[in-house]
Amino acid sequence: MNMRFPHRAPGPNQAVAILRDVPQLTGHGTFVSLSIRSVLRPMSENTLNAALRRLGFTKDEMTSHGFRARASSMLNESGFWHPDAIERQLAHVEENSLRRAYARGEHWDERVRMMVWWADRLDGLRTA
């Protein structure tokens, strides 16, 4: 991540299973998603956007960052999760400097439950 602070993210069983297969696909590289030009760099957002274009999506219909926006919308609209937990999961930084100075909670337990729910939700969407 391109952030100034470490970001921990819980891994539901589905994500852990995928990550276990990554070394076989990447040649035991440093990154989960490799650049097509160098194993020393991660895949760029532009690579994902180009893939979306090849799938027929216009830039007005979907972008790689749009997946994060959609996740935020779906998590918030579910009504199950505290907005602060969602924002922390997305590694968003509080814009209000006073609140940022005091609201440092990671909401870890809720984020673990949220990511299990999210992975199950994606599985359900895939099979629907």
Q: What pLDDT is recorded for position 119?
A: 96
Sign of the Cα torsion 70, 76, 78, 82 reads positive
39 vs 78 pLDDT, higher one = 78
The pLDDT tens digits of the residues spanning 80-123 come to: 999 999 999 998 876 777 766 676 678 999 999 999 999 999 99
**Buried b / exposed e along 44-77 (16+ C-beta atoms within 10 A):** eeebebeebeeeeeeeeebbbeeeeeebbeebee
Per residue in 21-59, pLDDT tens? 888 877 777 788 888 788 788 888 899 999 999 999 999
The mean per-residue pLDDT over the stretch 56-70 comes to 93
Per DSSP (E only), the strands in the chain are: none
The model's pTM is 0.79
pLDDT of residue 3: 60
Determine the Cα angle at 87 with ends 85 and 92, to 5°.
Answer: 140
pLDDT at 108: 94
pLDDT score recorded for residue 114: 97
